[in-house]
Structure 1
Amino acid sequence: MTLLRFLLCLFIFVGALAAAGAVVLSILLMLSFPPLLLAVMLACWILSRLLRLLSSDQDNPN
């Protein structure tokens, strides 16, 4: 059981490390290629507008 818990913690650590590396790499890529940064910012803005629209539809069922 201890070995299983160790392997689980090891896989979680490796996954978190890979995710952090992917975030840092994507940020560096966005800073070196400005149109990609613009596209990500536009996608985040569209997503926030869509989520706000969907949440207001759930509040008002008409």
Structure 2
Amino acid sequence: MAMLRLLAALFVFVGILAGCVTALLLVILMVRFPPLLVAVLLACWIFNRLQKSARKAPW
């Protein structure tokens, strides 16, 4: 049982580490290529608008 917990904790750690590395690489790419920054900001804005419209929907 202890080995299973260790393995689960290892997978969680590796997953968090991979997520952090991905976020860091995305930030580096956005700084180097400004059109990517514009695309990410536009995608966030569209996603925000979609969330607001989904909350207002009567269904």
After TM superposition, is the score higher than 0.5? yes
Aligned partners of 1:11, 1:30: CA distance in 2, in Å? 28
The one-character-per-residue Cα deviations of 1:9-58 (angstroms, maximum 9, x if unpaired) are 0010011001000000000001100000000000000000011001011x
Structure 2: tracts of 5 or more residues without a match: none
Aligned partners of 1:50, 1:16: CA distance in 2, in Å? 28
* Stretches (4+) displaced over 2 A: none
Aligned partners of 2:3, 2:54: CA distance in 1, in Å? 45
Relative to the length of structure 1, the TM-score reads 0.91
Give the CA RMSD over aligned residues. Answer: 0.8
Give the equivalent residue in structure 1 for 2:10.
10
Larger-Rg structure: 1
Instruction: Give aligned pairs, total.
Output: 59
Percent of pairs with identical residues:
47
